[in-house]
Amino acid sequence: MNKSEYISAARLEEIQEVIRYRFKEPELLVRAFTHTSFANEKHIPSQDSNERLEFLGDAVIALVTNRFLYEKYEKENEGFLTRVKSLAVSKPSLSKAAAVLGLGKYLLLGKGEEASGGQQRDSSLSNVFEALTGGIYLDGGLDPASVFLRMAFLDEIVVDEREAKDYKSELQEYIQKKHKKRPHYQVVSEVGPEHQKVFFVKAVFNGEILGEGRGKSKKEAELEAARAALEALKKKPADIKEKSRTKI
């Protein structure tokens, strides 16, 4: 595929400025931005669309992210790292990174795909991000791919600790070790309109309130209640019935 036929030299220069990487083989860069709809419309061979690079980039992102998290969270266990990784490399996370870089405007799309807003579609953005990562890896190796990923989103990664920590599982394990039973969660109230509800939840065991939480979803409120319960229990690790005198 002749790169100058679809993306001008000036446009390629602009993209490389944005991603802070200069390709030795610019054809790889063009391929990374070639959507299948464009390839079909222009009768370009399917292997010259970005799908194969997307496949490769997905694996590179996983590897680089795993190492980054392994080094960043030295004291956390495998479960925590797995949950953080799933949040970090989710489609929404990658599409957001692509949007921040403005990659959508460089996408080569078929007329129908472009007319329907393909340049801003999350799936198209996350796919081009993966394909671009794959292209950088093929062109320069793992080191420049790692530098790109850190610049693009890893160094700025913010994780909701409540989801990453999975406090519900931790609380369950903590209680089951001593009592062979599980805590349960009670929705106390729901406040606000349907699209902006706030849930209030209590973590309960043997009729006693161990912790309370609030959140924009039941899951978020339960995680917060479990976190509060664990914090209280670990401060006073005696019999659970001594943790709270408040009854339901």
Maximum Cα interatomic distance, the chain, rounded to a whole number of Å: 75
User: Angle, to 10 degrees, between the axis of helix 51-72 and the axis of helix 142-152?
Assistant: 70
HSE, side-chain direction, 13 A CA sphere, residue 105: 9
Is the CB of residue 154 less than 8 Å from the CB of residue 71? no
Please say if 239 is a catalytic residue.
no
**Distance in Å from the first CA to the final CA of the chain:** 70
Is the CB of residue 226 less than 8 Å from the CB of residue 203? yes
Determine which one of 54, 58, 139, 208 is catalytic: 58
Please say if 130 is a catalytic residue.
yes
Q: Which residue has the tokens 């990659």?
A: 103
- DSSP H helical segments within the chain, as ranges? 3-6, 9-19, 26-32, 36-41, 51-72, 78-88, 91-101, 111-115, 122-140, 142-152, 161-165, 167-179, 218-235
Determine which one of 13, 41, 114, 130 is catalytic: 130
Q: Which residue has the tokens 């340049």?
A: 119
Give me the active site residues, please: 58, 130
